[in-house]
């Protein structure tokens, strides 16, 4: 379990892991995904505490931009890259095989650039709306990475792996127990912050998004890849902060 946890940290963050660990345990496994939601909690706790400490000293938009940059940087911009690749592929109006080829291309197209800009601006502006309340601002920063990493687990359960090979295949977890744990953990966390009705509404919207997005991916490419899961992670973060700013 410790090995799986360290692999989860190495896979989802830029936190350093000693080289000797990879010599003994070169590849992650299915159990690694068990810790994805907990990594989201760890990231959220770190950044919400930092934001709480400096909130009074930094204006709303600069702080919001710094927060979104930090959330992206902590994963090595991996999920933003997946979002751009998925947008370029899905909006290309090509058949499945060609979409998968486009998503493998490291170059970013116009669709990817537009979606990246829209997503980042939505996150920044929504956080800026929450800025007057330091508590609400920090709650959003706590829930965003947590929701994104919960989606990774739920998305794996709802979709098969779309490629014949790839790093994601060695830890693809389609067991209902893992997804159930993520949903229960998400429910408990939002209940801690909100009243029952509000928490239930957030949970239902989040689960509906997970289902609808997964169905869309299955329709386009027959399942999910690391890129589409990364895109779902980014969109989940955007969805959560957007809901909170509306409320």
Within-domain flag for 234? yes
pTM score: 0.93
Within-domain flag for 13? no
Tally of domains within the chain: 1
Q: What is the 3-state secondary structure (H, E, C) of 169-209?
A: HHHCCCCHHHHHHHHHHHHHHHHHHCCHHHHHHHHHHHHHH
Question: Would you place residue 192 in the very low, low, confident or very high pLDDT band (cuts 50, 70, 90)?
Answer: very high
Q: For residue 171, which of 150, 188, 196, 153 has the smallest C-alpha distance? A: 153
Taking only the tens place, the pLDDT of each residue in 30-40 is 788 889 999 99
Name which residue leads in pLDDT, 25 or 112: 112
- In this prediction, residue 48 carries a pLDDT of 96
Q: What does the buried/exposed string (b/e) look like for 65-91 if buried means 16 or more CB atoms within 10 Å of the residue's CB?
A: bbbbeebbebbeebbbbbbbbbbbbbb
Name which residue leads in pLDDT, 247 or 50: 50
- Residue 59, pLDDT > 80, answer yes
Look up the domain containing 140 and give its range: 37-246
Question: What is the sign, positive or negative, of the torsion defined by CA atoms of 232, 139, 73, 39?
Answer: negative
Within-domain flag for 134? yes
- In this prediction, residue 167 carries a pLDDT of 61
Taking only the tens place, the pLDDT of each residue in 68-112 is 999 999 999 999 999 999 999 999 888 888 998 999 888 898 999
Within-domain flag for 161? yes
Within-domain flag for 22? no
Name which residue leads in pLDDT, 20 or 123: 123
Within-domain flag for 78? yes
Mean pLDDT computed over every residue of the chain: 91
Taking only the tens place, the pLDDT of each residue in 140-181 is 999 999 999 999 999 999 998 887 776 666 677 777 888 888
Query: Residue range 217-224: average pLDDT?
Result: 92
Contacts of 197 by beta carbon, 8 Å cutoff, 6+ apart:
none
Within-domain flag for 66? yes
Tell me the angle at which helices 110-130 and 60-73 cross, rounded to the nearest 10 degrees: 130
- Residue 202, pLDDT > 70, answer yes
Within-domain flag for 24? no
């Amino acid at each position: 379990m410790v090995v799986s946890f360290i692999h989860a940290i190495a896979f989802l963050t830029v936190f350093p892991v000693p080289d000797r660990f990879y010599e003994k345990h070169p590849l992650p496994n299915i159990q690694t995904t068990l810790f994805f939601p907990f990594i989201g909690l760890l990231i959220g706790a770190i950044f919400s505490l930092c934001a709480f400490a400096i909130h009074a000293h930094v204006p709303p938009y600069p702080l919001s931009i710094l927060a979104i940059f930090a959330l992206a940087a902590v994963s090595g911009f991996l999920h933003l890259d997946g979002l751009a690749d998925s947008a370029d592929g899905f909006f290309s109006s090509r058949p499945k095989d060609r979409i998968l080829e486009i998503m493998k291309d490291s170059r970013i197209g116009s669709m990817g650039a537009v979606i990246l800009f829209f997503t980042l601006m939505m996150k920044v502006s929504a956080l800026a709306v929450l800025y007057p309340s330091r508590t609400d601002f920090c709650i959003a920063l706590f829930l965003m990475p947590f929701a994104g990493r919960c989606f990774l687990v739920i998305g794996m359960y709802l979709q098969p792996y779309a490629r014949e090979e790839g790093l994601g295949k060695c830890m693809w977890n389609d067991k209902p127990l893992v997804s159930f744990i993520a949903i229960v953990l998400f429910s408990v966390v939002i209940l801690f912050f909100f009243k029952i009705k509000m928490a239930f509404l957030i949970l239902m919207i989040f689960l509906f998004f997970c289902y609808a997005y997964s169905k869309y991916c299955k329709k386009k490419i027959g399942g999910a890849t690391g890129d589409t899961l990364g895109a779902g992670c980014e969109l989940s973060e955007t969805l959560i902060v957007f809901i909170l700013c509306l409320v």
